Amino acid sequence: MAGSIDWRLATIAAIRDETPSVRTFTLIVPDWPGHRAGQHLDLRLTAQDGYSVERSYSIATGPERGGAVDITVERIPDGEVSPFLHDVVVPGDRIEVRGPIGGYFVWEATFVEPLFLVAGGSGIVPLMAMLRHRKAAESGRPARLLASWREPEDIIYRAELDALGTLDDGLAVIHTLTRVQPPDWTGYRRRIDGAMLDEVLEPLGRDARSYICGPTNLVETVADALVRLGLPPDRIRTERFGPTGT
Amino acid sequence: MGDRFVTRGFVGRRGAGSGSDAPSRLPPGQYLTTDFPVLSAGPTPRTPLEGWSLSVEGLVREPVSWSWDAFRSLPARDWTVDISCVTKWTKLDMRWRGVSVDTLFEAVDIDPTAAFVIAWSDGGYTTNLALGDVLNGQAFVAFEYDGRPLAPEHGGPARLVVPGRYFWKSAKWLRGLRIQREDERGFWESLGYHERGDQWREERYSGD
């Protein structure tokens, strides 16, 4: 890769609530070099005395949106950056960002294999960029999203996912609700396991290209199960957050 | 753009809750964590110890390969080091047990023109390091973390640890060190990450 990845001064154009603890921020980034679905950006906050912090956030928008880039941020109560973004930042504020970062956890509509996405909670964000890219590119190839949430109100991008899942363009959206289900819920109601993956993956076959993003325990479970189900390890791409608890 | 842009309303928490010497041990742009986050690009490889080996090869007179038992009979020591990941977390005083890379290299005759080492792993991962960055006690191959066998998701049975570089240089599931005259980009280095990855110079990405 040539050249350096420069810091750019982005403007917050819009803020919207996704769930009680998750918000999407639309950043207008001047001279954004473009990104691929699944990449992230670095964000830097600097105080008056020069103290600064950086964090990485997945990009939620597809490449078609160009330099109007969405990041979707969960508010971590004891965090340093996410409470600032949630509680202090308003449209019109400016924030330093640089990117795009990362070139492995990416999907392009030109990839021919069926697409299998597995999300745990806010791990949905880079996968949403892939689904938005897929729709914009009118890919039409078979794709399935399996997303795990504790309860219905945790579902990020719910209306858009519902709409994407009913387009009849080859995409199926499947949720599992692990703790609280609505009375009329007919879907999965347990943590993702091998049997669930086997069922959900079935229509895509073993040639599928998989992207898994979520907490470490979920990613470990899913990646191990997919290897056991016979998917080639080099087509299973993972992005994780959080500790192992061991 | 310079570093002087000030974010409206940002004060920061300044590493609250960390030790008094912690700020000076925190490289630029990093934050302290007490967790041990896991980051990998794909599934965790699980190689049985009977099929495991570690080799030093490339520009050496005679390549060497150790079985698990042979590797574990090499002199090992405890290491307490600070680790910084390019994804911004830094964890202080991580306690490992492992074999110094110096010890491994004592078993081979390295060609004087050698200048780089490529660490390679189960699962196909690679990373490149300057030879001078892994000598003289700067790098080791760890098989224990915090008094326990190294867990697979953290790179077990054995991983390289290079505390002076961002953690992607500390290849998990290490199987070999290939000595070379020429540098050669590894996995993340080919995807836009810095060739050297010195966290004190904040060498995160190519061109930093």
- Give ∠ CA B138-B91-B7 in degrees, rounded to 5: 115
Q: Does B19 have pLDDT greater than 60?
A: no
Counting residues of chain B whose pLDDT is more than 90, the rounded percentage is 87
Q: Is A20 exposed, middle or buried (0-12, 13-18, 19+ CB in 10 A)?
A: exposed
pTM of structure: 0.93
Task: Give the residue carrying structure tokens 């109601």.
Answer: A189
Q: Is A179 on the interface with B (CB under 8 A)?
A: no
Q: Does B22 have pLDDT greater than 80?
A: no
How would you classify the pairing of strands B174-180 and B140-145? unpaired
CB A96 within 8 A of CB A10: yes
**Comparison of pLDDT for B63 and A50, the residue scoring more:** B63
CB contact under 8 A, A102 and B192: yes
| A124-136 vs A158-165: helix crossing angle, rounded to 10 | 40
Q: Residues of B at the A interface (Cβ-Cβ below 8 Å)?
A: 1, 3-14, 29-31, 35-45, 87-88, 123-124, 151, 153-154, 187-188, 191-192, 204-208
Q: Does B108 have pLDDT greater than 60?
A: yes
Cα end-to-end span (Å), chain B: 14
Q: Return mean pLDDT, chain A.
A: 94
Mean pLDDT of A219-227: 96
What is the per-residue pLDDT for B38?
85
What is the per-residue pLDDT for B24?
84
What is the C-alpha to C-alpha distance for residues B91 and B84, in angstroms, rounded to an integer?
7
What is the per-residue pLDDT for B18?
47
Q: Is A147 exposed, middle or buried (0-12, 13-18, 19+ CB in 10 A)?
A: buried
Nearest CA in chain A to B122: A233
Q: Is A8 on the interface with B (CB under 8 A)?
A: yes
What is the per-residue pLDDT for A246?
30
Nearest Cα neighbor of A137 from A63, A33, A86, A189 is A63
Residue of B85, B153, B204 to mutate, interface with A, max A Cβ within 10 Å:
B153
Nearest Cα neighbor of B63 from B176, B144, B148 is B176
What is the C-alpha to C-alpha distance for residues B117 and B194, in angstroms, rounded to an integer?
16
Cα separation values, B13 from A94, A170, A194, B17, B32, Å: 20, 47, 42, 10, 12
Alpha helices, H only, A56-209: 82-87, 124-136, 158-165, 194-201
Counting residues of chain A whose pLDDT is more than 90, the rounded percentage is 92
Each residue of A107-161: pLDDT tens digit?
Answer: 999 999 999 999 999 999 999 999 999 999 999 999 999 999 999 999 999 999 9
The SS3 assignment for B131 reads helix
